[in-house]
Amino acid sequence: MSRFALPTLQTERLTLVPFTEKHARDVDRFEALWEVARYTTGIPHPYPPGDAFLYAHEVALERHNGAGGLAFAVSPRAEKRVVGMIELDLADDGRSAELGYAYAPDVWGRGFAVEAALAIIAWAFDRAGLDALVASAHVDNHASCRVLQKAGFRRVGNSTTYMHERGKTGTFEDYRLMRREWQS
């Protein structure tokens, strides 16, 4: 069983709940869009129908085996639909994780990504006891780079990663946030 009990997190405008198969249909709808997938390394395009449902099972298995599964569905508090996904991919050391997220285009520019990231960061450092978080964003995805900066991440360099689903290499801005920086 996972060492992390995933809570429901509430922000001023959002509810973040542990991602399960009941959220998959909404996630399938926005992750199938090219504008969502284009800058990622993990969202395939064309998007296979039901991929989020399979991901929900993978996350549940990771949680059960204590290997992570730290994924949340993001919904506006006034709505039932899922408008985003945010996750922490736990590193092998169990003390750090990589932050990743994707949102439906109709909520871009409303501050939801920053708000959800701040909630996850607070949970990761204050409740889950992680020491460091890392994240990356494609250099052409200026909005995602701003999300990370507004959430307190510090840019530490660039890296190139082969984007399997795109068949090419992409350049990414790499970011890091340490617990001691967050708490100061």
> SS3 for 32?
coil
Average pLDDT per block of 10 residues along the chain, 184 residues long: 78 97 95 93 89 92 81 95 96 93 97 98 95 97 98 98 85 97 87
Residue 68 is predicted with a pLDDT of 77
**pTM above threshold 0.75:** yes
Q: Which of 70, 81, 99 is nearest to 29 (CA)?
A: 81
Q: Which domains does the chain have, with CATH numbers?
A: 9-130 (3.40.630.30)
Rounded distance, CA 98 to CA 177, Å? 10
Query: Is 139 within 8 Å of 171 (Cβ atoms)?
Result: yes
Residue 3 is predicted with a pLDDT of 66
Residue 1 is predicted with a pLDDT of 41
Q: Which of 32, 5, 161, 53 is nearest to 98 (CA)?
A: 161
Residue 17 exposure: Cα atoms within 13 Å on the Cβ side? 14
Query: Residue 46: is the preceding peptide bond cis (ω within 30°)?
Result: yes
- Burial class from Cβ neighbours inside 10 Å (0-12, 13-18, 19+) for residue 150 reads middle
